[in-house]
A and B are shown apart, each in its own frame.
Chain A
Amino acid sequence: MKEKSKEIIYQRPESLRDVTTHYCPGCGHGTVHRLIAEVIDELGIRERTVGVAPVGCAVLAYDYFNFDVTEAAHGRPPAVATGMKRVRPELIIFTYQGDGDLAAIGIAETIHAANRGENITVIFVNNGIYGMTGGQMAPTTLIGQKTATSPQGRQFQNEGPPLKVGEMLAPLDGTAYIARGALDKPANIIKVRQYIKQAFQNQIEERRFSLVEILSPCPTYWHLSPADSMKKITDEVILNFPIGVIKDER
């Protein structure tokens, strides 16, 4: 009998270590990690990539990626990445940040790295909450959303509206590429993958600052099931944070 030929069509990317992550069931970080790892493999840049991990739920990202990664203080990854990219421009430097890290405590570093047009890639995971510290309000928390520090729900008059980082950075001349995607359904995940790939491609081609914002679920602190969390992204989060390419100056 003739043996059927077998072809591997799906496997763990080389850029992702074969370990179990600490992320909660239904969390989006694992998906984003995988997308980044796939893209880095595809572009053949694993051996010249250095990641900058945040403080927040993804603080242990260096245990999951299979390339060089450094820690950075809360909010400071864009400054750390700036120091790296300026001294070794041939390396591929990316930051991986949550909404507290990037949009609250590190907003100054974010804006100025963007405005200087640093040739780095920023992966911004927006789940509208501080997960690591126990579900506090983030700059991107939706109006009315209840959190540990907005128990009555976020109010426009008190906390202001959710911060739209992508739209805020897009007018800066230093930015080359700003896109926002969502993890709520496979079609959108495929788009996120394309955005991430473009953001790394831009760095290879020295097109300056690229940022991909990813709307991601936090079932634990949204107090929803993983499936309902995805539905919330589709029904509510995307209405507040429209998805698509916000700026592309290729």
Chain B
Amino acid sequence: MKTEKPTKPILICGNEAIGEAAIQAGCLAYFGYPITPQNELTAYMASRMPEEGRVFIQSESELAAINMVFGASALGVRAMTSSSSPGISLKQEGISYLAGCELPAVIVNMSRGGPGLGNIGPAQSDYFQSTRGGGHGDYRTPVLAGASVQELADVTFLAFDLADRYRTPVLILGDGILGQMMGPVLIKHPEPTRIPPKDWILGGAAGRPPRVIKSLFLGSGELDAHNRKLQERYRIIQDTEVRHEEFKTDDAELIMVAYGITARLCREVVRNIRREGHKVGLLRPITLWPFPSGRIAELCSTAKKFLSVEMSYGQMVDDVRLAVNGRRPVDFFGNGGGEILTVEEIEGYTVKLSLDLS
């Protein structure tokens, strides 16, 4: 490979950071379709992938793009596609097949306002779709949410590793602002992780019995056995792959829970109102699935209340409630109209909650 490891930070936007990280992570094929606000990623791959002698296709549809990923992945190649909310809905059929066929893939959603065509502003209203599987059938996909341009690059490496390690599609969930904002990025190659040998890939049955990739199990009990294998894998992912970050939660009476760009705003809110004596902290999930439920449950012993802040009308708040399991009250603040929240409005709401606690 001609890729050279950048040794100093480069100034690029979030979409491009994912693209460059994917290339450095060994993504050999990218398939995309235009949709705002992720077009910078498709354009970046259109110029960079051929430079590296790799595959780039602008597909005829999101359906085609995800199925091209399916084909490349079935041959054992690291492959990726990206889109934004309406396009991700179209990809769900393919994501379900990838899950059923146990094929690794990385799918990027730079989400925008919905439902329907919605608008092209930033949103976090695809949380349900992302964390509950999204397509038909009993499956989950790991969902990684970066909160900065740098972290988008970092989680891209992780996404490819998780995909290969667990033979599953992995989602990177950002939003229109994260995708388009510029930031300094150091493409950090993480330590190589242990990836199981790909002894399942297709590529011509030379000197071995033919292989089949399928999600169809018609015999009595066959689908149940297959699905139980997937469920066992999901349990291992839940046990071992939760990632989150905490900010001033040790003595916090009110714990904000937020991810992505919203978590950055909440961090500022915590910093601001701590100066006024409010005992507030922030828990930021990096993996939305698996969700850091265990840690939230632990925090119930010290915190009095939780507040989920989202660019939606309340989706992740359901997971916070499930984790808290009735032991503490859980509140919600957010807006799902494709507009970013302001520090001021979050701060106003948070201060009010904090005052109510004391």
Task: Please give the residue numbers on chain A whose beta carbons come within 8 Å of chain B beta carbons, in ascending order.
Answer: 46-50, 52, 59-60, 62-63, 65-73, 76, 79-88, 91, 108-109, 111-112, 116
Contact = CB atoms under 8 A, between A and B. Distances in A.
Contacts of B206: 47-48
Given A50-B204, A87-B29, A76 B94 contact: yes
B68 A80 contact: yes
A242 to B, nearest CB: 29
A70 to B, nearest CB: 4
Given A47-B206, A76-B67, A108 B61 contact: yes
Given A46-B205, A49-B204, A71 B57 contact: no
Contacts of A71: 97, 101, 212-216
Contact of A109 (B31, B60, B73): B60
Contact of A65 (B64, B79, B210): B210
Interface string B39-57: 0000000000000000101
B70 A72 contact: yes
B63 A76 contact: yes
Q: How large is the interface on B (under 10, 10 to 19, 20 to 34, 35 or more residues)?
A: 35 or more
Nearest to A55: B216
A69 B215 CA distance: 12
B187 interface: no
Contacts of B211: 68
Contacts of B94: 73, 76
B93 interface: yes
Given A71-B214, A91-B204, A50 B67 contact: no
A80 B74 contact: yes
Given A50-B202, A79-B67, A108-B64, A86 B215 contact: no
Given A73-B97, A108-B60, A67 B204 contact: yes
Nearest to A49: B204
Contacts of A70: 70-71, 74, 101, 202, 212-214
Q: Which 9 A-B pairs have the closest CB atoms?
A: A83-B71, A83-B68, A79-B67, A47-B206, A112-B60, A80-B71, A48-B204, A76-B67, A84-B71
Contacts of B216: 59-60, 71
Secondary structure dominating the interface of A = helix
B75 interface: yes
Contacts of B205: 46-47, 66-68
Given A67-B204, A68-B210, A86 B29 contact: yes
10 contacts: A49-B204, A66-B210, A70-B212, A76-B63, A79-B71, A80-B67, A82-B68, A83-B74, A84-B72, A84-B202
Contacts of B300: none
A223 B264 CA distance: 66
Contact of B71 (A46, A68, A82, A112): A82
B202 A76 contact: no
A185 to B, nearest CB: 32
Interface string B196-220: 0000001111110011111110000
B68 A68 contact: no
A122 B25 CA distance: 33
A34 to B, nearest CB: 17
Given A68-B205, A108-B61, 16 more contacts: A47-B205, A59-B216, A62-B214, A68-B203, A68-B212, A69-B212, A71-B101, A71-B214, A73-B94, A79-B70, A83-B29, A87-B55, A87-B72, A87-B75, A108-B63, A108-B64
Given A66-B210, A83-B29, A86-B72, A72 B60 contact: no
Contacts of B202: 50, 68-70, 84
B92 to A, nearest CB: 11
Contact of A88 (B61, B65, B203): B203
Select the residue from B73, B79, B212 with max chain A CB neighbours within 10 A: B212
Select the residue from B64, B69, B93 with max chain A CB neighbours within 10 A: B64
Nearest to B79: A83
Nearest to A92: B204
A14 to B, nearest CB: 10
Contacts of B55: 86-87
A109 B63 contact: yes
B28 to A, nearest CB: 6
Contacts of B207: 47
Select the residue from B31, B70, B210, B211 with max chain A CB neighbours within 10 A: B210
